[in-house]
Structure 1
């Protein structure tokens, strides 16, 4: 089995084309908009939510059947139709043009997979089964959602600000490395999982201050 290389794409301002206007397409559109992508939807019909996004100018909408010209300028394409012939045509055209393409429920026609992902602020945790079982990926994601709540996102924002201070204010590379290595540990994760967000922040702040005094 060919192994996939996991990456995180920066899609801000990139044109992403969705072919299809149903509930699956709606979910894909929403996740792309969350990444600040420029989204174009090709479909004769749309869900009410997609109509709302189109009317508000959040997405480009072409009320027509798919044509190869619809892919012009696309960085990434997702085919979310229930037509096997259309999905095959989209896959072939994208491969010919070296465009990233995902075909929903047809991993053999795709050159990338969309993992099941949870987001907690700057924290993203993704689970992929290389297209073998989207259901299993979803179940594992739900387990992770219970383990990593919103407090992890809040904590990471705080931790990021402390890290920036250390990089900016501590010139000694050895001390700076010591501080950055000590800012988070398993005890910090335990505090967060038990709901002690402020105590976790205090712990990090104490580490930073005690090590910073040595600089």
Structure 2
């Protein structure tokens, strides 16, 4: 397996998508929702992405568009044009929905539960199983897990100001994670009280 997972900062990214069909629209929606500028070459735009700022352009301008883009996505049924765009995008980030292994970037299925974003990649073996795994993961993660994450973030913000040693900060975080008093407060949905308890726990030591 020669792919590795990373998260790409997209709020200043220029994305050119060849195609305006279902796959192209999903790709566009994903990047628009994360702050990218997106242009699509094809026949017409779905209103849902047009309202988010997607721009429809002509397929005759692909050379200019590839030059403009930081990321090129090929999601078109026109094989000849797709291959041409891929050939002139050799120094760009390239995602090919038609032949993923011929690009250098995969856009996996992903979803959010609160502030947690989870991506699933089966190395192209089974998109169906990726969807099934997504359903199973969504059933496992609870509201309590999300509250614990919020409290860990709160604790980390205090510890960064108070404790210089990273290992010591980690010890504090594990102690907080396992603290029964905090668990009881979470169960009673007393989040402010849990934060106050964490604050005192850190500052009294």
1:198 aligns with: 189
Distance, in Å, in 2 between the alignment partners of 1:113 and 1:171 is 39
SS at match of 1:126: strand
Judge conservation of contact 1:151–1:197 (CA < 8 Å) in 2.
Answer: no
Judge conservation of contact 2:15–2:38 (CA < 8 Å) in 1.
Answer: yes
Distance, in Å, in 1 between the alignment partners of 2:115 and 2:20 is 29
1:150 deviates by 5.8
1:37 aligns with: 36
Unaligned runs of 5+ in 1: none
Matches within 5 A, 1:47-196: 47-53=46-52, 58-65=53-60, 67-95=62-90, 98-149=91-142, 152-153=145-146, 155-168=148-161, 170-171=162-163, 173=165, 175-184=168-177, 196=187
TM-score (norm 1): 0.77
1:140 deviates by 1.1
Distance, in Å, in 2 between the alignment partners of 1:122 and 1:23 is 27
Q: Deviations over 1:107-134 (max 9, x none)?
A: 2322121111121343221110122222
Q: Deviations over 1:141-177 (max 9, x none)?
A: 1211222256645553443233112212x24636534
1:213 aligns with: 204
1:50 deviates by 3.5
Q: 1:171 to 1:158 in 2, by over 3 A?
A: closer
1:85 deviates by 1.9
Distance, in Å, in 1 between the alignment partners of 2:133 and 2:42 is 32
1:201 deviates by 7.6
TM-score (norm 2): 0.80
SS at match of 1:61: strand
Distance, in Å, in 1 between the alignment partners of 2:7 and 2:135 is 20
Unaligned runs of 5+ in 2: none
Judge conservation of contact 1:45–1:63 (CA < 8 Å) in 2.
Answer: no
The total of aligned residue pairs comes to 202
Alignment RMSD (CA, Å): 3.1
SS at match of 1:198: coil
Q: 1:88 to 1:120 in 2, by over 3 A?
A: same
Mean Cα deviation higher: 176-185 or 101-110: 176-185
